[in-house]
């Protein structure tokens, strides 16, 4: 009886290899051949599951998104029932920041993908909707007026802190202190 292959598992294996190559050498180094070598499979197998580099990149970014969602869901679940909005936001953002080795690897891939999508708008198609949904979620947790704008600023802060963490300009302590300072401002009593 022929062995049944889990298509999603194989695609994830290849996406993980892509992320390792991208995290070590940047997206410029990502090719079907390099990814196949990293995954320990043939180039033909990679091409069987992904017709183009863009398709492979989009799937890898989806894997990063799923991992981030799983980390956030797990971190929020540890807060218990109905945590205060400020604590919920801090937990969510701190979980998304590249503070651990695993999240740093995912963060490098996400950053590389953002740069990649900046010159390939078709590759960024799903990012706009993700951003709108995230801003709307953040806005729903913020008090006061201009919540959408303040949420967009908070998202910008998170992305900026992520870049500085990945680049080594900020330590985890500095990034979390900056996040806490911004949350203090956002949750200060309104005049």
Mean pLDDT by 10 residues, the chain (191 residues): 72 84 77 87 87 80 84 94 95 94 82 79 74 92 93 95 95 97 91 56
DSSP string, 11-31: HHHHHHHHHHHHHHH-GGG--
**Model pLDDT, residue 8:** 80
Please name the residues in contact with 148: beta carbons below 8 A apart, sequence gap of 6 or more.
135, 136, 139
pTM for this model (two decimals): 0.81
Q: What 3-state DSSP class applies to 99? A: coil
The CATH number of domain 54-186, selected from 3.40.50.10320, 1.10.357.10, 1.10.8.60, 2.40.50.140 = 1.10.357.10
CA 69, 35, 56 angle in degrees (round to 5)?
A: 50
> Based on C-alpha coordinates, what's the Rg of the chain?
19
For the chain, give every domain's residue range: 54-186
What tokens does 33 get? 């051949």
Q: What is the pLDDT of residue 59?
A: 80
Tell me the three state secondary structure of residue 1. Answer: coil
């Amino acid at each position: 009886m022929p062995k049944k292959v889990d298509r999603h598992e194989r695609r994830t294996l290849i996406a993980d290899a892509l992320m390792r190559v991208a995290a070590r050498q940047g997206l410029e180094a990502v090719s079907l051949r390099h990814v196949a070598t990293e995954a320990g499979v043939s180039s033909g197998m990679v091409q069987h599951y992904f017709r183009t580099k863009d398709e492979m990149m989009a799937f890898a970014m989806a894997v990063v998104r799923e991992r981030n969602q799983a980390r956030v869901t797990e971190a929020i679940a540890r807060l218990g029932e109905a945590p205060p909005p400020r604590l919920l936001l801090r937990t969510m953002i701190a979980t998304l920041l590249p503070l651990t080795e695993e999240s740093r690897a995912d963060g490098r891939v996400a950053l590389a993908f953002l740069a990649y999508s900046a010159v390939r708008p078709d590759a960024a198609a799903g990012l706009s909707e993700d951003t709108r949904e995230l801003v709307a979620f953040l806005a729903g947790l913020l008090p006061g007026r201009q919540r959408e704008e303040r949420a967009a600023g908070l998202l910008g802060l998170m992305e900026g802190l992520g870049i500085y963490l990945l680049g080594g300009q900020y330590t985890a302590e500095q990034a979390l202190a900056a996040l806490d300072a911004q949350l203090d401002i956002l949750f200060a009593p309104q005049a």
